[in-house]
A and B are shown apart, each in its own frame.
Chain A
Amino acid sequence: ETGVTQTPRHLVMGMTNKKSLKCEQHLGHNAMYWYKQSAKKPLELMFVYSLEERVENNSVPSRFSPECPNSSHLFLHLHTLQPEDSALYLCASSQDSGWRQSNEQFFGPGTRLTVL
């Protein structure tokens, strides 16, 4: 148990559906992250939030829309996804996002997303 929870753990959706992934951290951290992990690819950073402000957006398609209402919660809203978006989506948090910090990240268990 890392102190980061994700729901749902598994999600199957059609290309026309709208769904949301939820992440919650109970560690009092200031930074939260969304990653995408596809088979045979390195972990891809999607978004970084620091103190509820987005500080990084790695050229992610607009069909992925993040939301950070407070420092403990992070959402990833999904709409009109493609089959190639099927992957494990991981949420993580760290005390701070700045590189001067020892920014060890704590990961949630992930949401396995399948787009039909």
Chain B
Amino acid sequence: SQQGEEDPQALSIQEGENATMNCSYKTSINNLQWYRQNSGRGLVHLILIRSNEREKHSGRLRVTLDTSKKSSSLLITASRAADTASYFCATVSQGAQKLVFGQGTRLTINP
């Protein structure tokens, strides 16, 4: 069954606001990754957080991981129109050799 599930499926906010997306998963993981995909293009890796980490920052991105709740969140601060894209979480389960992606959150930033 699908490992990562993002919430919400779609999010529309005004430019300058913060955007928060959530991801839940089912099994113990080695790490969790977030990717961005612009329409019809390939995915771009944003950030990786390991199972022993709780929070990670990269520029305007902040990722948290709660292994007790099997959930992660991606926060984009001070959003820009260029942040409009689909965002996916992907997990690597312990013992597995592959990433399993969720269905993604479609983020729209309105100017």
Contacts and interface: CB of A to CB of B under 8 A. Distances in A.
Interface of A: 2, 4, 6, 33, 40-43, 45, 48, 50, 55-56, 88, 90, 92, 97-100, 102-110, 112
Q: Classify the interface of chain B: helix, strand, loop or mixed.
A: strand
A38 to B, nearest CB: 11
On chain B, which size bracket covers the interface? 20 to 34
Given A2-B44, A99-B30, A105 B99 contact: yes
Nearest to A58: B98
Given A41-B103, A43-B88, A99-B92, A4 B30 contact: no
Given A100-B30, A102-B48, A42 B2 contact: yes
B58 interface: no
Contacts of B96: 99
A106 B44 CA distance: 7
Contacts of A108: 42
B111 to A, nearest CB: 26
A56 B101 contact: no
B97 interface: yes
Given A41-B103, A103-B92, A109 B41 contact: yes
Contacts of B30: 99-100
B4 to A, nearest CB: 8
